[in-house]
Structure 1
Amino acid sequence: MTTATPLLPRFQQDPRSQQLLTVLLGDYWFARDEPIPSSALVELLSVFDVTPRGGRAAIQRLAQRGFLQSEKSGRRTAYAVTPKSRRQLDAHVRSLFPPRTPEPWDGTWTLVAYSLPDDARETRRALRERLRIHGFGNLYDALWMRPGEQTTALREISDELGAIDPDQVTVFTGAQIPRSMSARAVWSAFDLDDVAGAYRAFIARWGALADRIPDSPAELLSGEEALRTRTSIMTDWRALRRADPHLPAELLGVDFPMHEAREVCAKVYDHLGPPAESVFRRILTPHDGELAQRVSHHTFAASDSLLGDA
């Protein structure tokens, strides 16, 4: 097609560069433990206008945070994603590719109620923050809820917060919410108006490009522009999925804009996969030709098989 290139924001240095590198490795180096030469990673980031100094700083900070681990061979330094980070990436990638047909929900909830003294303000704030991060909605001031059985999430919250007096926190599993509770109350508990608005903004930004994508795979954006565009849409999509509490379809309804946003993202992201992968491979080849042959990319269409093999 005629390259109607979208005017996309360039990635900024440092924190944004670190996020950018995690997106690129999560997509094109998923579930791989082989280290990539640091010079190749710096060159890859330069496609996004990250300076060599900024690229090296981003790599070093990711290593300091434990996301990457370094390996030296002579004068060459290479970096691999740590095993712990690979497991986190696996869980995160699963959340990025929701199936078209969602899994059925049995109608049960996990409820968390707490009663903390006035002088435990910091504990209360931390508990509320962790509950929200782990997808719980705030039904009432001290009552939080999330669909389904959430033992794993609760164990992670406990590990993150440390010991809390069991007399101050009560968990109900397999709970049933009265049918008299309005759908509006559930939407409010999970801030779904804001979530829906963010999905609509995503559709407004990317829908026109999705509509211009042709049926012929030969008509594509140029290689580096394909990589930049594909990474930008996935960065936006990641932010959406992080804010989304991932509620069952029964609570959202068929008109919830996540469904349309998913189709827009899938069309752009899948279509630009081959040329974007070729850029990653081209950059890696002079540094390590054998490694370059192992580059791959995700698609929404094949997400189930990709994750199954990970």
Structure 2
Amino acid sequence: MQNSLNTRSMIFTLYGDYIRHYGNEIWIGSLIRLLEEFGHNEQAVRAAISRMNKQGWIVSRKQGNKSYYYLTPRGARRMDEAAKRIFKLQPEKWDGTWYMFTYTIPEEKRSIRDELRKELVWSGFGLLANSFWISPNNQKEQIKQMMEKYEIQDFVHFFTATYEGPHENAQLVNECWDLADTNRKYDEFIKTYSQKYVIDKNKIEKGEMTDGECFVERTKLVHEYRKFLFVDPGLPQELLPSDWLGDYAASLFGDYYRTLAGPSSRFFEEIYQEGNELKRDKSYNALNHPLIQEL
């Protein structure tokens, strides 16, 4: 099970849930040690870090004979965006506005298309027609960043609108997103983790679960829940089906996360301090994180 977890994806999870609260930086030796808990070897970690460096998510610095890796502004921004969506998927009350984005990318820039589509899906956009994407959430900042990143200002249009029919807004949702499939995934998550939550909570209360085991379970929990960023567009309540399971899954995630938060953070800090100066954000407390309180 542990070896099946993608190394690069696990590193993103560690940066998002832990490292970004500790100055966004970690010694490679500490990172290797943490990932050993999931069955990843040094070679796999170094290869994944190298790839993330080339992709612009992290950069390195040398201090003596040690290499440290920290998030770029782009990487830090992505981690913050992901955290807000993980810990609070539902946006504010919807005002009926749709945000629309369309593009015509020339052939010489066709390599950008796939990357752009991935970014749009991750940001919660749905494909209404060929190269025509919509979202009920305010995506102005995300679109601005995408245009700057891919240098496509000359090939895109971005505007807002209200839907005037002839159908209901729900029709747009059905055409753009497969919420039934996402609901099935939430159902699977709930069935798996509601049982694990009860078992682990009892173990922790009885002192039968080590800090290291809590670290592994919390990281795997966030890793699995983070996958919903790619399938749940975070639609407002007004556009969701009556049998939607996202809210229940979020509540379960929050309860389980809080249960594991204290001991898992102790384990992380123990490993982290072996090669790094402890510089935890003063406002950060995994057990009482403000985003967690909203679940």
Q: Which TM class, normalised by the smaller chain length?
A: 0.7 to 0.9
User: Which secondary structure does the structure 1 equivalent of 2:20 belong to?
Assistant: coil
Contact 1:63/1:69 (<8 A) preserved:
yes
Task: Find the partner of 1:230 among 203, 218, 223.
Answer: 218
Corresponding residue of 2:261: 273
Percent of aligned positions with the same letter in both sequences? 26
Alignment partner of 1:302 is 2:294: no
Task: Find the partner of 1:194 among 181, 195, 200.
Answer: 181
- Counting only pairs closer than 5 Å after superposition, residues 68-217 of structure 1 correspond to structure 2 as 68-98=58-88, 102-112=91-101, 126=114, 131-141=120-130, 143-159=132-148, 162-163=151-152, 171-178=158-165, 180-181=167-168, 183-212=170-199, 214=201
TM-score (normalizing by structure 2): 0.81
1:215-243 superposed Cα distances (whole Å, 9 cap, x missing partner): 89644632222111111111111111222
Which structure has the bigger radius of gyration?
A: 1
- Unpaired runs of 5+ residues, structure 2, are none
AA matched with 1:10: Q
Aligned mates of 1:62, 1:112 — CA distance in 2: 28
Aligned mates of 2:37, 2:128 — CA distance in 1: 45
Aligned mates of 2:71, 2:112 — CA distance in 1: 34
Offset of residue 185 of structure 1: 4.6
Aligned mates of 2:188, 2:80 — CA distance in 1: 27
Task: Find the partner of 1:56 among 46, 50, 54.
Answer: 46
- Structure richer in helix, relative to its length: 2
Corresponding residue of 1:67: 57
AA matched with 2:16: G
Alignment partner of 1:24 is 2:11: no
Q: Provide the alpha-carbon RMSD of the alignment.
A: 3.6
AA matched with 2:15: L
Alignment partner of 1:10 is 2:2: yes
Contact 1:284/1:292 (<8 A) preserved:
no
Contact 2:102/2:132 (<8 A) preserved:
yes
Aligned mates of 1:111, 1:82 — CA distance in 2: 29
AA matched with 2:254: A
> Would you say how many aligned residue pairs link Structure 1 and Structure 2?
291
Contact 2:197/2:256 (<8 A) preserved:
yes
AA matched with 2:12: T
